[in-house]
Amino acid sequence: MDKVRTTFDVTKERIKKHLLEGKRFDSRKPEEFRDIVIETGVSENAEGSCRVKIGKTEVLVGIKMDVATPYPDSPNKGNLMVTAELLPLSSPKFENGPPKFPAIELGRIIDRCIRESKVIELEKLCIKEGEKVWTVFVDIYSINDDGNLLDAAGIGAIVALKNAKIPKYDDKEEKVVYGELTNNSLPLAKNIPISITTHKIGDSLIVDPTREEEDISETRVTIGSSDGVISSMQKGESIPLSVEEMEKILDLNEKVWKDIFKKVEKFVK
Amino acid sequence: MTTKNTQKSEISGTTKSKKAAEAKDLVGFKRIDGRKVDEIRGPIKAKVGVVDNADGSAMYQQGKTIAIAAVYGPKKMHPQHQQDPERGTLRCNYNMISFSVTERIRPGTNRRSTEISKIMEWALGPVLMIDKYPNKVVDVHVNIIQADAGTRCAAINAAAMALAHAGIPMKNLVSSVAAGKMDKTIVVDLNKKEEDYEEGEGATDIPMTFTPDGKLTHLQLDGKINKKQLMEAIELGKKACKEIYEVQKKALKEIGEE
Amino acid sequence: MSEEKHRKIIVPGEVIVKGDEYLPGEGTEKKGDEIVALKYGLAEESNKLIRIIPLSGGYQPRRGNVVIGKVELITFNGWVIDINGSENAFLPLTEVPRYVNKNELEDVMDINDAVVVKIWGINKRGIDLSIKSRGLGKIDEGIIIEVNPNKVPRVIGKEGSMINLIKEETGCNITVGQNGLIWIKGDKVEKELFAKKAIEFVTQKSFISGLTEEIKKWFEEEKK
């Protein structure tokens, strides 16, 4: 089956028309997310892992840690590296091969959300200043794409980080003893950075688009914030936004953040 | 410690005493996790329809090894120059996710995943009937979510279910397992610790794939083994594959009962 | 044997029945005196002919099928249409019920337009389409949904009983493409979405017997 189908134009027109009345095909309100299902500890060899489902969209996020030399301009700080892969198994849109722009952008957006929120206390990941620090790898994989992989990845990243445990480090041998975890969680601050993407379709603003809705999204703004403090933002695609629309997006983001926080709260305690 | 002389007789070995010793080994050998020599790891879990977007998909777990397979096709083959005008093409893509193993794997392909992708094509190809899809491709993508040895076998098992689930015409399913040898004992389904076994003759790892009617579509080996032991291992593997076939069949049949 | 009962799920390679009197139908082959499945699906027997009804897998184009497709390409004498099968299909100028000037092809149907077409021929070169009969042609508005093509017979029902029930209860015009694409057109989006929901209900419950009763009950509930 040549399933590289984008939504038919006639359906797109209907989606837009319905949105003008504030209605969506699956009866959700514009500011409503689909059901979120979170499972932690899904991959035992990872230092932390989780599976996040938003509706039928599914991602897997894993945390791996290693000891390395610090960056020269931050000799007493641990390293953070966020990578995303849009697996060909998750959608007919994704091809085998080196990461293309959507995967690179996704990784970088989530990286900024985590990094700029300073939720990971990188100074506490220093083992020996200038010589040895912990590197935290956050690896994001798509398993099924039915729209909004971005926000699913964002939730997955923070949940996996909160659930990770630091592996044992053998000082004598100077290497990590994988498979043996200490009881120590990562040094994390109390804030919970969650990234939420708002999409503009015609004159309507929605969050958590299905694949059909994503197909007609004209532009999107992803905001990483925690309790009203915005730490990262990215506008994607080409249609311009008015300042009023931007303000509406910020308001919407604040409202939705509170809803999402309630849903993921127990996984990030 | 075996001396050179005894080593020689073992390799040619058919003496009475050796047979007795082997029998004792088979019965008395204790595996690290307490399994019998012919016991597959549990839990064994299999499910189809795990990736909504795919034409067919399946998850296969054996012990701590978990594989997810998704099939897209038959569809037009791109790039065009790889099209086969006489028959359809099977294209497998195997990869382990970075955190499936204890030491992180850099995302992306590597030589091992490229080789295993090809091995999968050879293991699955013989049962597929895609001759009537010229210029088309059936893409099978498999990712290992968690690894504890036997990953290519789990991948093949998941892929076989996913191909059937996708409605691809097939003569049969195939089932795969790694048999092997630990020191002198023939065992089936080695886990990672067993693969790394170093005592005596060390570990020999023999992944293989069988059709339900007992034909081999895939066989690899690395280690140290004589012909007789190899034949034993293959027989043990064949038996184990029959068990695995039943699990795959059940998963496909249970699809309506949700 | 009634249509819905006595069907069991068969995996490829499985022996369905044994006995010389049986004949191998679609998705099966005869090996000795056994009928063996070559596809995953439900085994069905009718008059000693055994066939597999696929549960999954793509659409297999057939002559006479009415399907919904999307215009991929416009050539000098027609339109190349993606009908969700693994072959592209071609609608020539000559199979349109009115005269079309070679320069106005885009005006009749443009790239990405959705269209209801009929398959009138399948040959080595590809699939030949026509829009000469009633009910065929470009889709102007409405929603197009997609279901598993193997469930289309259930959505249509015996002699159209199921789809007609849905049309009546939802007040929509519905064209079911054999390739799993379904066009729903109503005077309100809510009605179209209601029809979509009804069709999804049918495809999810396609296994059970007495589906007509089930859906009647469902409509009663939904109307409350």
Copy the structure tokens of residue C78.
Answer: 């027609």
Domains of chain C, start order = 4-54 (2.40.50.100), 66-138 (2.40.50.140), 143-223 (3.30.1370.10)
Compute the distance between CA of residue B192 and CA of residue B101 in angstroms, rounded to an integer: 10
Residue B170 corresponds to which amino acid? M
Q: Is the peptide bond before B43 cis (omega within 30 degrees of 0)?
A: yes
Q: Does the CB of C146 have a partner CB in chain A at under 8 Å?
A: yes
Compute the distance between CA of residue B72 and CA of residue B55 in angstroms, rounded to an integer: 5
Chains in touch with C (3+ beta-carbon pairs under 8 Å) read A, B
Q: Is the peptide bond before B79 cis (omega within 30 degrees of 0)?
A: yes
Local structure of residue A258 (DSSP, 8 states): H
B53, B66, B94, best to mutate vs chain A, most A CBs in 10 Å: B53
What is the least distance, in Å, from the CA of A167 to any CA of chain B?
10
**Dihedral over alpha carbons B115, B117, B123, B127 (to 10 degrees):** -150
**Dihedral over alpha carbons C41, C43, C49, C51 (to 10 degrees):** 0
Q: Does the CB of B252 have a partner CB in chain C at under 8 Å?
A: yes
**Contact C55/B76, CB-based, under 8 Å?**
no
Torsion angles phi and psi, residue B227, rounded to 5: -60, -45
> What confidence score (pLDDT) does residue B24 get?
44
Whether B85 contacts B135, CB under 8 Å: yes
Copy the structure tokens of residue B49.
Answer: 């329809």
Q: Does the CB of A8 have a partner CB in chain C at under 8 Å?
A: yes
What is the least distance, in Å, from the CA of A202 to any CA of chain C?
17
* Residue ranges of A 3-42 with Cβ closer than 8 A to chain B: 3, 42
Q: Which chain C residues are within 8 Å of B133, Cβ to Cβ?
A: 86
Q: Does the CB of A87 have a partner CB in chain B at under 8 Å?
A: yes
Identify the domain containing residue B245 by its residue range.
41-257
Element containing residue B119 per DSSP (H, E): helix B111-124
- Could you report the per-residue pLDDT of C143-166, keeping only the tens digit for each? 999 999 989 999 999 899 999 999
Contacts of A159 (CB under 8 A, 6+ apart): A38, A40, A50, A52, A61, A264, A267, A268
Q: How many Cβ contacts (< 8 angstroms) between chains A and C?
A: 41
Q: Which residue has the higher pLDDT, C125 or A149?
A: A149
> What confidence score (pLDDT) does residue A269 get?
81
Whether B63 contacts B189, CB under 8 Å: yes
- Could you report the per-residue pLDDT of A228-260, keeping only the tens digit for each? 999 999 999 989 999 999 999 999 999 999 999
**Contact B51/A90, CB-based, under 8 Å?**
yes
B220 occurs within a structural domain: yes
**Contact C58/B252, CB-based, under 8 Å?**
no
Q: Does the CB of C192 have a partner CB in chain A at under 8 Å?
A: yes
**Contact B145/A60, CB-based, under 8 Å?**
yes
**Contact A45/B73, CB-based, under 8 Å?**
no
Compute the distance between CA of residue B189 and CA of residue B236 in angstroms, rounded to an integer: 10
CB-nearest partner of A11 from C82, C140, C144: C144
- Could you report the per-residue pLDDT of A43-68, keeping only the tens digit for each? 999 999 999 999 999 999 999 999 99
B170, B215, B250, B254, best to mutate vs chain C, most C CBs in 10 Å: B170
pLDDT at A189 over 80: yes
> What confidence score (pLDDT) does residue B76 get?
85
Whether A55 contacts A35, CB under 8 Å: yes
Copy the structure tokens of residue A95.
Answer: 């091809």
**Contact A9/C113, CB-based, under 8 Å?**
yes
Whether B146 contacts B60, CB under 8 Å: no
Task: Name residue A121's beta-bridge partners.
Answer: none
**Contact A1/B51, CB-based, under 8 Å?**
no
Compute the distance between CA of residue A213 and CA of residue B98 in angstroms, rounded to an integer: 31
Order across the sheet with C173-176: list the strands: C143-146, C181-185, C173-176
B157 occurs within a structural domain: yes
pTM of the model: 0.91
B22 occurs within a structural domain: no
B11 occurs within a structural domain: no
- Could you report the per-residue pLDDT of B93-130, keeping only the tens digit for each? 999 999 999 999 999 889 999 999 999 999 999 999 99
State the alpha helices, DSSP H only, in chain C. 105-108, 152-156, 161-170, 189-204, 211-223
> What confidence score (pLDDT) does residue B9 get?
40
Rounded mean pLDDT, A159-181: 92
B214 occurs within a structural domain: yes
CATH number for the domain spanning B65: value is 3.30.230.70
* Residue ranges of C 149-188 with Cβ closer than 8 A to chain A: none
Q: Does the CB of C142 have a partner CB in chain A at under 8 Å?
A: yes
C208 — pLDDT class (breaks 50, 70, 90): confident
CB-nearest partner of C144 from A10, A23, A25: A10
Provide the percentage of residues in chain A whose pLDDT is more than 70: 98
Q: Which chain B residues are within 8 Å of A44, Cβ to Cβ?
A: 64, 146
Provide the percentage of residues in chain A whose pLDDT is more than 90: 91
Q: Give the residue from B24, B41, B12 showing the smallest Cα distance to B180.
A: B41
B226 occurs within a structural domain: yes
Residues of chain B with pLDDT under 70: 1-29, 256-258
Q: Give the residue from B241, B207, B223, B183 showing the smallest Cα distance to B40.
A: B241
Compute the distance between CA of residue B41 and CA of residue B149 in angstroms, rounded to an integer: 11
**Contact B252/C54, CB-based, under 8 Å?**
no
Q: Which chain C residues are within 8 Å of A212, Cβ to Cβ?
A: none
> What confidence score (pLDDT) does residue A4 get?
45
What is the least distance, in Å, from the CA of B155 to any CA of chain C?
19
Torsion angles phi and psi, residue B223, rounded to 5: 150, -135
| Residue of chain B whose alpha carbon sits nearest to that of A55 | B52
Q: Does the CB of B132 have a partner CB in chain C at under 8 Å?
A: no
Q: Does the CB of A1 have a partner CB in chain B at under 8 Å?
A: yes
| Residue of chain B whose alpha carbon sits nearest to that of A48 | B99
Contacts of B92 (CB under 8 A, 6+ apart): B117, B118, B120, B121, B124, B140, B141, B142, B159
B65 occurs within a structural domain: yes
**Contact C27/B169, CB-based, under 8 Å?**
yes
> What confidence score (pLDDT) does residue A25 get?
93
Compute the distance between CA of residue B58 and CA of residue B254 in angstroms, rounded to an integer: 12
B8 occurs within a structural domain: no
Q: Which residue has the higher pLDDT, B239 or C205?
A: B239
Chains in touch with B (3+ beta-carbon pairs under 8 Å) read A, C
A106-115, B42-51, C104-113: least confidently modelled range: C104-113
Q: How many Cβ contacts (< 8 angstroms) between chains B and C?
A: 65
- Count how many domains chain B has: 1
Compute the distance between CA of residue B118 and CA of residue C195 in angstroms, rounded to an integer: 46
> What confidence score (pLDDT) does residue A5 get?
65
Neighbours of C24 (CB within 10 A): 18
**Dihedral over alpha carbons A228, A229, A230, A231 (to 10 degrees):** -150
